[in-house]
Structure 1
């Protein structure tokens, strides 16, 4: 599975927006957003709708054609009434699909200019179960303080308005895990005319409500504040693909795995080194943190599980799609914005034609050639760990990471702690992606080519892996205000009590 590049996106589904990652100075003569016409915006909107209808591997899994048509018509009218780029970004038709892997990225020029024109909410926040807390120290509002309302809008309603940006599969609501770090951008996008910000907050340790007026800040100041956010506190662990910690006092090993987009030899080296050390030290338990894992190759997820397995396990998944062709080849591009050549299109057609067969339901399903090399009866590794296992999950646990969590849960091999994963337990879209360059806004629409389904699933209830234990909200707030990682601290506390 391909993982989205998080460094450029303005509107992004599996993984969120990288706020202000480019130079923000835009010369007056280079202003392009104001030159966008109503026709250009609506042309791109219509093209997105048509691409989704013809290219998405399973568009109507969580909707139907009549509802989709009605909803896209309504969104189009909103854009037609106010044809601006910001309004366009807030009413994209791909929000209706409920697919964590869809994404739309602005061109560098438009991204720079848009960032430079906004005035931002000044502070980063933590979002937890429809509640919002200040996530910076030394600010006008103390760190960990709970916000009640912004501009006289209750926080719950604010989050409801931003929910379109919290991409997840189906009916999963934990996508806020991924948008919290970009709250300043998203909220500013929705309230670009509101400044300053009137904030009501709950005084820490009391039930008193206080009011404060916060000035809107420029993009550079907002980005600097985001870099000072306190949570997550395991910043070092998230800076690497894989990072290990060893706690001798509690005989616990911690393995943080942030991606499964790894080649087998590199992944095996990291996994085996960790578990050999854990076994050497005769640890009683391991914690595997996949809260920030955006997925990758499900075979690498199975490889990691082989270090936990006590017996051979079933490693079964396949791919299906409604179409194996490129619907709009004239707009298809590679990662460098090079348009597909006739040879590219021919090669693409041959790849899917050889590896997918149409079944009686009208879907193309991966055949044995596509599954070549898939190890369905997977043995435990020689260095497999046999102690207690705890898996940390959340809305940022997506795709192959959800598959790993499902292997643990399905085989009753560990305790899942945290929140519901951001992608489905039965299926998700993944694997190969195609990018279309939209002519009006020069945005890049990325669509997964296939649906990945696990364990021969035939139905999808639209939910991810549900945790065995969720951190009590009171404990979450207590850990957060102490500057501690809530899920990890809660897990370590559970171990101490045991």
Structure 2
């Protein structure tokens, strides 16, 4: 290979992956980012006082040494995460994790986190010793409590406000990607695990996403085709109906018509004359608010107030009130008037919280699980803008609209019955919160 071509290749690689940013560049981007947050975000001080946000910024601005790309990402995250808005983010780009078409390789397993302990949830590796429930005590000789603390510096997804369970939830949800970000890509990762109370060391070969999907389909086949839907009835009897709502993304509703799909679901429930309805919105990160309104029409007894939208006073080209208070009337056909049990958790976010918050105030509704990851009085979302930081070139996404849910003034939506998944049920494949709801169904008319 000609020397000049080799030089250009090395230079290009160093420029992209070995890049560092000077304190001057970092300070300039921090100042730019802070200015944009304060100018664009419709409610930046909902969860943090302005003087506290200034203190966070000042501490970050004191940076005196150059930072590599990964360190820079973590440094900037400190500022966006300070406002504690789950719809505000810095995007992970190819400098941190290779794009899918380049086949980045990840740890081939999912995990469950209980406190500072990590357990195998689904093993997609070639090592059959890593059965569900196996404790991972260290990776690359870093004890798990210390590793979790390190990974949390790169957590790029957040909830609203200060729910301590949310960080653990997103650590668990993005575990393999955070490992990749922290360790960079490795051909294999060295684990220490506890098997029969004895600690063992073993190596696990990392795998691309295509392999993980193939192994997932082979080892955990989906036998119910409805599982792939974002909204479906998993059970429908005269005693109990179970409505699973995985997302409010309208593009994936049956036939692309959420009105007809939801009507058909409640028609089926009415035909069975079900007396109890369990609605599961755990791990539902939201979507279109109008889809939730369509569902509420079949569940609320009285007319309810639609969400209200406004924008930041600094956004001159946006109307201050894009929607006004409107009352939605309940439908007359196929209304459900039995007992309703709503399953929520720290992964319940945005539109899913909107639905649960409106239902909470009804006498026939009980919320079960853990405190939602999204704020219950409203969120900053709806429409978004993105921009690139001038020096570090990271892309930032900010919401443009402030949404009032018109359901409650409480910041956090807490369950009537707090029920957490325990380790024994996790290993046995039992759903602790769902089982609790089923027990309530048995005594639904006595509490």
Scaled by the length of structure 1, the TM-score of the pair is: 0.72
Specify which of 398, 402, 405 is matched with residue 451 of structure 1.
402
- 8 Å CA contact 1:120, 1:216 repeated in 2: no
Q: Does 1:491 align with 2:437?
A: yes
Instruction: Tell me the CA shift for residue 255 of structure 1.
Output: 1.8
Aligned residue number for residue 4 of structure 2: none
Aligned residues: 420
Contact 2:298 2:330 in 1 (8 A): no
- Which residue of the other structure, out of 423, 426, 444, is the alignment partner of 1:480? 426
Please, which runs of 5 or more residues in structure 1 have no aligned partner?
Answer: 1-26, 326-348, 357-365
**SS of the counterpart of 1:135?**
strand
- 1:429 matched to which residue of 2? 380
Structure 1 Cα separation of the partners of residues 397 and 337 of structure 2 = 41
Report whether the alignment pairs 1:239 with 2:185. Answer: no
Q: Distance in 2 between matches of 1:276 and 1:406?
A: 24
Task: Please tell me whether the aligned partners of residues 134 and 142 of structure 1 are also in contact (alpha carbons under 8 angstroms).
Answer: yes
Shift of 1:485: 4.1
Taking a change above 3 Å as real, the CA distance of residues 238 and 82 of structure 1, as seen in their structure-2 partners, is farther
The more displaced of 231-240 and 430-439 is 231-240
* Cα distance, 1:281 vs structure 2: 1.5
Q: Secondary structure at the match of 1:371?
A: coil
In 1: Cα distance, 2:269 partner to 2:210 partner: 42
CA drift of 1:478 comes to 3.1
1:376 to 304, 327, 330: 327
Match of 1:288 among 261, 279, 283: 279
Is the contact between residue 438 and residue 445 of structure 1 (CA under 8 Å) also seen in structure 2? Answer: yes
**SS at 1:174's partner residue?**
helix
Shift of 1:423: 0.6
The separation in 2 between residues aligned to 1:434 and 1:105, in whole angstroms, is 13
Alignment of 1:182 onto 2:174: yes
Distance 2:137 2:363 in 1: 40
- Higher RCO (CA < 8 A, seq sep 6+): 1
Change in CA separation of 1:237 and 1:153 when aligned onto 2, cut-off 3 Å = farther
Note the C-alpha offset of 1:105: 1.8
Contact 1:181/1:226 (CA < 8 Å) preserved in 2? no
Q: Distance in 2 between matches of 1:398 and 1:472?
A: 17
Q: 1:227 to 1:389 in 2, by over 3 A?
A: farther
| Contact 2:103 2:209 (8 Å CA) reproduced | no
Question: Could you list the runs of 5+ residues in structure 2 that have no partner in the other structure?
Answer: 1-8
User: Are residue 275 (structure 1) and residue 295 (structure 2) matched?
Assistant: no
Selected match of 2:415 from 457, 467, 473: 467
Aligned CA distance change for structure 1 residues 235 and 70 (closer, same or farther; 3 Å): farther
Aligned to 2:212: 224
Alignment of 1:104-183 (within 5 A): 104-108=90-94, 111-112=97-98, 121=107, 123-128=109-114, 131-137=117-123, 139-148=128-137, 155-163=144-152, 165=155, 167-175=158-166, 176-183=168-175
Residues 223 and 433 of structure 1: is their aligned pair in 2 closer, same or farther, counting only changes over 3 Å?
farther
The residue number in structure 2 matching 1:318 is 308
CA contact (8 A) 1:312 1:380 kept: no
Distance, in Å, in 2 between the alignment partners of 1:107 and 1:453 is: 32
- The alpha-carbon deviation at position 169 of structure 1 amounts to 0.7
Q: Alpha carbons of 1:413 and 1:177: their partners in 2 closer, same or farther (altered >3 Å)?
A: farther
Paired with 2:435 and 2:165, the residues of 1 have a C-alpha distance of 20
Once the two structures are superposed, what CA deviation does each residue of 1:438-467 show, in whole Å capped at 9, x if it has no partner? 33344321101122223286x664x2x112
Distance 1:303 1:118, change over 3 A: closer
- When the two structures are superposed, what TM-score results if normalisation uses the length of structure 2? 0.79
The residue aligned with 1:199 is 192
Q: Is the 8 A contact 2:236 2:272 kept in 1?
A: no
RMSD: 3.8
| Deviation digits for residues 257-299 of structure 1 (CA, Å, limit 9, x no counterpart) | 2333438982221111111111111222222221132222333
